[in-house]
Amino acid sequence: MRTYAYPVLLEPGDDPAVTVVTFPDFPEAITEGVGDIEARANGADALGVVMLEYLRQGRKLPMPSEGQTIIAPEPDVAAKIAVLEAFAAAEISQRELARRLDWDEKAVRRLLDPYHATKIPQLSAALHALGQRLVISVDAA
């Protein structure tokens, strides 16, 4: 099973109320927030954007390094990332995925666009067509 939770560093900013968020595995993902809750939420957003950009560029995502505090992208973003990775691994065409899903090719192009919002049921259906299963879990924040 693949998860998309990565270790995070939460450090005080120049302003004591601000927490700076960085990811050892994704040096491009840097953000901040006022307080821990906002910092973690902004971190999840930053992580998701960088991960989607890696995939858009055809780069492989690193496996998470060791760390006690982890952050994952929002569930819909993680599911989109899973679809993009599964599609790349399947080595099939968009036309073939459209055939497997019984969808229009335009819908598949939108599904595979990292920046097009896609609902969880469509992402789950695509994963199923690619021989994968979407599993959702809950973890302490």
Q: Where are the domains of the chain?
A: 6-71, 75-129
CATH number of 6-71, picked from 3.40.50.1010, 3.40.50.980, 3.30.160.250, 3.50.50.60:
3.30.160.250
**Residue 54's pLDDT is what?**
96
Q: For residue 27, what pLDDT band results from cuts at 50, 70 and 90?
A: very high
What is the value of pTM for the model shown? 0.91
96: Cβ contacts below 8 Å, ≥ 6 apart: none
Query: Do 31 and 46 touch, CB atoms closer than 8 A?
Result: yes
pLDDT of 141 higher than 80:
no
Q: For residue 137, what pLDDT band results from cuts at 50, 70 and 90?
A: confident
Q: For residue 11, what pLDDT band results from cuts at 50, 70 and 90?
A: very high
**Residue 140's pLDDT is what?**
75
For residues 61-72, one letter each, b for 16 or more C-beta atoms within 10 angstroms of the residue's C-beta and e for the rest, the string is beebeeeeeebb
